[in-house]
Amino acid sequence: MIPTLLLPLFFVSVLPLFSFFFLGPFSLKLNTKDKPSSHDNIVLPKAYPLIGSYLAFKATENRLIQWLSDLIKVSPAATLILHGPMGSREVITGNPAIVEHILKTRFSNYQKGTTFTHTLSDFLGKGIFNADGHNWKFQRQVAIQQFNTKSQRKFMEQVVDEKLSNRLIPILASAAQEDRTLDMQDILQRFSFDNVCKIAFGFDLDYLTASDERSKFAQAFEEAMEISTKRFSEPLPLIWEIKRVLNVGSERRLRMAVREVHEFAKNIVREKKKELKEKETLESEDMLSRFLNSGHSDEEFVTDIVISFILAGKDSTSAALIWFFWLIWKNPRVEKEIVNEIRENSETPVADEAKDMVYTHAALCESMRLYPPVPIDVKEAMDDDVLPDGTVVKKGMQVKYHVYAMGRLESIWGEDWAEFKPERWLEKVESGKWKFVGRDSFTYPVFQAGPRICLGKEMAFMQMQKLVAGILRRFRVVPTVADGVEPRYFAFLTSKMEGGFHVKIQKRVLSD
């Protein structure tokens, strides 16, 4: 029996029943007429009343992203209608025309939606990452101004350079000297966390080296993010809603972690506001100071927006880089090209020089094609609609686009889609130099596309290029995995390498 008090909660929870964030346990109704023979071994799950295909999805849990990707590959128009329990349905697609339709043409009809925002609201409040409509638009407009100034870009570069030279390189150098194995995934995540905190708050967390009080914020942030995103994969939202009301288990830990994060952030906001009162203007270029300087002083608002920025920027570049280092190790020819390009550049490439590193840029795009930091994204339909391939969408249905599958579609990338080939992004010009040839963002929605495209894209490339140049100029990154073992790619909000990315760091000699 459900206690009377919990009944309203029950209805709120049952409506989005089984509607998992990325990987909802839906059965698949697939038009298999055009199924290529090479995909004959792909078996569709059976759907049962009430639970739908929950059991089948549970069984493929370990490779759900890859499995859904295989199903997209064999479906006409790279689009599936997923039939879930209790009559619910959703669409999952790898079709660029549909991606353009939901992210641009009918942008206002496809929003984050209440399932998404309600699930993350304890942690993210109404910050940009968790906002729709006017609230999102307002934050986006303010944030864009803060992000796009020349001085802001210079500040971001200085932050990256400083962390790279004074923290990351020494850590790698000592690992090389002592022949120590490092978890590069952990190191790069800490590096990105430090960077994004400095840029957002103007506060040096020093997560990369410190193990004291300062790390508490980072650890609480990680915990809050992990538990919040795991809410999406509860078979019933009711489970976390009840645990939340009773304040037990993971929900109790979440409450404590969120309190820690918000207290820490609010203290910084208060300090900055005090400084601002005393000095009239803050000279600092960090995002918080800029927000406060431009008259946005509401504590809740600036705290929420800064927390959203940290979340958006903290894991994505590290997720991209671990797969990049993995792929170049497997492709020494590509590594050689990158090292040659780096050696042609100055010690710490400033943004313009980093832009000249076209081969490195192409290699980063290519590695994110195969291993996107955000593998699947979800939108909710605000009203009935018809997608470009004729699929009917009803109000409240979720439409997901599968970025990982799109990077692996033969129809987009050709027969050699499985090859790691930066050259597919390049063209030789008369001078014999490479010229970068981009793809449209609906075909390659790694940074999303349309009005809600990632705000940190430029910053991310700057950070990644500096990091790659700084590391590969001095070291070789050598994975310690046994021969023939492929690391497993999995994801919650952002992708990860299961078990970490364990490497030896070797000093690079001139002949390397």
Positions in the binding site for ligand HEM (CB under 6 A): 128-129, 140, 196, 309, 312-313, 316-317, 320, 373-374, 377, 446-448, 452, 454-456, 459-460
User: What's the full length of the chain, in residues?
Assistant: 512
Which is closer to ligand HEM, CB of 349 or CB of 456?
A: 456
Both tokens of residue 342?
A: 């780096």
Nearest to 426 by CA among 352, 370, 361: 361
Residues 6+ apart with CB under 8 A from 288: 200, 201, 202, 268, 269, 272, 302, 306
Q: What angle do CA 460, 24, 410 make, to 5 degrees?
A: 60
Give me the least distance between CB of 2 and ligand HEM, in Å please.
33
Asked if 233 contacts 247 with a C-beta cutoff of 8 angstroms, the reply is no
Which is closer to ligand HEM, CB of 272 or CB of 400?
A: 400
Which is closer to ligand HEM, CB of 244 or CB of 361?
A: 361
Burial class (CB in 10 A: 0-12, 13-18, 19+), 417: middle
Asked if 121 contacts 467 with a C-beta cutoff of 8 angstroms, the reply is no
Which is closer to ligand HEM, CB of 327 or CB of 455?
A: 455
Asked if 79 contacts 95 with a C-beta cutoff of 8 angstroms, the reply is yes
Q: Output Rg (C-alpha) for the chain, integer angstroms.
A: 23
Give me the least distance between CB of 494 and ligand HEM, in Å please.
8
Give me the least distance between CB of 423 and ligand HEM, in Å please.
21
Which is closer to ligand HEM, CB of 223 or CB of 377?
A: 377
Within 10 angstroms of residue 355's Cβ, the number of other Cβ atoms is 15
User: In 112-212, where does DSSP find H-type helix?
Assistant: 113-124, 133-147, 150-163, 169-178, 184-201
d(CA 507, CA 512): 10
Asked if 123 contacts 250 with a C-beta cutoff of 8 angstroms, the reply is no
d(CA 358, CA 323): 19
Please, what's the b/e burial string for 281-314 (b: 16 or more CB within 10 A of its CB; e: otherwise)?
Answer: ebebbbbbbbbbbeebeeeebbbbbbbbbbbbbb
Nearest to ligand HEM by Cβ — which residue?
456
Give me the least distance between CB of 199 and ligand HEM, in Å please.
6
Give me the least distance between CB of 371 and ligand HEM, in Å please.
10
Give me the least distance between CB of 127 and ligand HEM, in Å please.
9
Which is closer to ligand HEM, CB of 54 or CB of 217?
A: 217
Which is closer to ligand HEM, CB of 379 or CB of 421?
A: 379
Q: Is the dihedral of CA 250, 256, 261, 265 positive or negative?
A: positive
Residues facing residue 378 across a β-bridge: 400
Backbone angles phi, psi at 312, to 5 degrees: -65, -35
Which is closer to ligand HEM, CB of 45 or CB of 349?
A: 349
Give me the least distance between CB of 174 and ligand HEM, in Å please.
27
Q: Is 454 annotated as a binding residue?
A: yes
Asked if 306 contacts 261 with a C-beta cutoff of 8 angstroms, the reply is no
Which is closer to ligand HEM, CB of 52 or CB of 127?
A: 127
Residues forming the annotated binding site for heme? 454
Residues forming the annotated binding site? 454
